[in-house]
Structures are given as structure tokens and as C-alpha cells.
Amino acid sequence: MPIATVNPATGETLETFEPLGSAEIERRLAAAEAAYARHRTTGFDERARLLNRAADLLEEDAADIARTMTTEMGKPVKAAEAEAAKCVKAMRWYAEHAAELLADEHPAQADVSDSGATRAVVRYRPLGVVLAVMPWNFPLWQVVRFAAPALMAGNVGLLKHASNVPRTALYLEDLFRRAGYPEGCFQTLLIGSDAVEAILRDDRVAAATLTGSEPAGRSVASVAGDEIKKTVLELGGSDPYLVLPSADVARAARTAVTARVQNNGQSCIAAKRFIVHADVYDDFRDRFVAGMRELTVGDPLDRDTDVGPVASERGRADLEELVDDALGQGATALCGGGRPEGRDRGWFYSPTVLADVTPKMRVHREETFGPVATLYRVRDLDEAVTLANDVPFGLSSNVWTRDEADMERCVRDLQAGGVFFNGMTASHPGLPFGGVKRSGYGRELSGHGIREFCNATTVWYGPTE
């Protein structure tokens, strides 16, 4: 895949980039190694100063970088501005809390006295150079939620971003440089996927994190496993959205629309499968379909647009194949089901709701990365939970109910990294984020995330005499 900015709203190629050659990659690896030797010895106050400065600069740049993201991958510009603001929030959160999250742990003396120690400490030390392989759908946020905790922990970063967001990738490197980070602390590598393996195998790279597709995660995990290097993977999701009899159906339906089409439907944590109890199914269906029909599909730079284009021609083709397969096997399109009229340029797809979906259809088990929802009617909570878990993924989940017993049952039985009641899934710096099953492993954000790329070191002190 060429490294290029291609406007998905028009299909126009705006700029192409030459991938880095082997000599430049070597120079950057050496710079990262040298930067880590310095950066790991800095204190939290200095790291926080740098990260807060980066946050200030990003806040100043928000309107410009939002337009860049929109032009490169098609998200509505209002959503891009919100993404930039979220990154600022996360940077400041880690600048404020990292020292506390990585503070030395002092086991109670009674717990270690039988080891012969006079005292013992657990100290969190950085691992080194971390390679981040990042996706295009949240081109700023996905990187910042890795970079902010990694840099605050004393690690340094190498970014291999998706090949269709090179301008955003280069902006990120420039942002950290302007904030005052020493050369090599954070570098963007404009390279193709074929160059990742050699970099990951390099002894100067200590670990890797990847957000992306299941095949990409499998590839990186395989190489890292062969080299015995730590990885964190956040892969696909096909999140369930359960609506149970005690739910506020009107609010659940309104939120469902946003939950499905956020980021033009291209979010791993977007609700995709709407599993509704028979008692409230008809009411929810009518409200949800009406809300999806009312969405404005159009130019993502227009502030009145709700849904922009899918990010690539291939992405839209994948979506069409899933929908056409379902329709061909008896599914019903309650709205949408194809390309919107009057949109001859760009890679637009209409907000779609599919009913009468069965397990034999691909859309039942595969992730739909675009504004397509599947709608199911269930008899009871048992059937809802079984259906919710009947996919290879386990990223997050949403449940609408006022019943505390239902809530406890869902927390116990839903196979997911998160359970969100009476609201849509969202990430927050203070809460761990990640999945189970084929959605990956490890956690980002919160204290769990910052400690993923740390060496939890046991420091044991024996008698001095």
C-alpha cells in the first residue's frame, strides 16, 4: 500500500511520500537507543513538563490537525476536533498522575520478613524503545494513548502509522519535537508493513503495541513472540448492545445511533450488534431506524454532516460484500443497504440497519467497519447473553437495564473487556481499555496501561551487618 494522503470524500490523491530507506531507519533506531539512555534517567517533573507543553501545543493546533485528520480519513470535522481535545485531556492526565501510578510499592514488612529482607520495594522501571503500529481510524488518539503513558514511564517511541494518514503521523513527531523532547524520544517511521518485522526483531526495540486488524495483530505477536518481546494488542470488536425490558427505550435508541455511527462507524468499540428483548423490540426498532434515517451523510468538512465517507475504497467494498451476502441470504434492510444517492465521488455508504440476520451470514460473526448495524430480537436475558458472546471478539459491551440483578448477571457472563450500563462505550484516561478473545490482550490507559511497558522490579534489602 502506498504511503499517501487520499481524500476519501473525493478519491483524490493529495500527496505521496517515499518510505524511509534502510540507512535512515538505522539512523532513527540509533537515535531512539541514545534517547532512551537519557530519557529513562529523567524525573517525573521533567517528563510532566514536556508532556504538558505538548498538550498546550496540541490545543493550539486543534483546528488545523482536525482538518488534516478529516482530509486523510474522512471523519466529520467536529469529531476530529473532539479527538484532539481528548488527546489534550489524556496528556494532562498522565502528566499529573504518572508519578503516583508508578510510585514505589512497599510491601508490609510482615509479608516479607520470612524472606530474610530487612525491607523490600517494587519499583517500576521503563523497558526501552517501544514500537507502536497504529491504525487510521483515530489517527491522533490511538497514538497519544500509547505515547503519553510510555513517555511518562521513561520509555521512548517509534511510530509506524497507517499508510493513509502520513500527514497526521508526521505532525505527531513534530508536536513532540516542538514540545522540547530530545531528538529520538518520539519518531515517526514512514515505512510499509513489510519493514515492520526487521525493526521489531532489532535488539534495540524492547516491546511493541499494536491497534489494528486481527491479521496484523497475529503477525506482530508472532514476531515478538519469536523474539520474546512484550506486546499489547487491541484488535477488532463486534460489540453487543443489549436492550432489556426495564430500559429507557427512547434514550437507548438515541444513544444507539451515535454508538453505531461514531467515526463513520469505523471504531472497534462502536456498538455493532443490537440485541433487543422481545418486550421492547418493536419500540426500539422503530426509534433506532428513524434515527439512522435522519442522519446527514456528506462532506466531512461540513459541520452539519453526521456521517462522512468510509476511509478507503477497499473498506467500502468490504462493507458492501458483508451487506450483500446478508441480503442475499434473507436479511432485511430496514434502512440503507447501499451507496447514498447523489454521492458519485468518494467512498460513502448509507447508514444501514439489517434485521432477520442468521448465524449463516458473514455479518453475524465478522466485524462491520462502517455505518451498518445488525438487529436481533431475543426472548430473555439468557438468549441475549448467549448471542452477545457468539462472536470471536470481546472488546466491550453495552447493556440498557434498570434491573440490578440483570447488571450483575451481565458483568459475570459477558465476554468483554468492558461492560457499559445505560450509556455507550467510551475510553477515558483513568479507566483500563482492552479486550479478550480475538480482540487482543493487555490494557491501555489508566495505571494498568502505563505499567504495561514497565519492568516491575523487586528490590530486596538484606541485613547490612
Cite the active site residues: 234, 268
Q: Which of 149, 53, 142, 145 shows the shortest CA–CA distance to 97?
A: 149
Cα 148–441–83 angle (5° rounding)? Answer: 40
Q: Which of 438, 357, 434 shows the shortest CA–CA distance to 392?
A: 438
- CA-to-CA dists, residue 123 to 46, 126, 229, 325, 451, angstroms: 19, 10, 20, 54, 11
Distance CA(270)–CA(369), nearest Å, equals: 9
Q: Which of 56, 41, 30 shows the shortest CA–CA distance to 154?
A: 41
3-state SS, residue 201: helix
- CA-to-CA dists, residue 60 to 85, 107, 141, 270, angstroms: 10, 44, 16, 29
- In this structure, what C-alpha cell is assigned to residue 32? 531512539
3-state SS, residue 215: helix
The one-letter amino acid at 358 = T
φ/ψ of residue 243, rounded to 5: -120, 115
Find residue 3's DSSP bridge partners. 17
The one-letter amino acid at 338 = G
β-strand pairing of 440-441 with 230-234: antiparallel
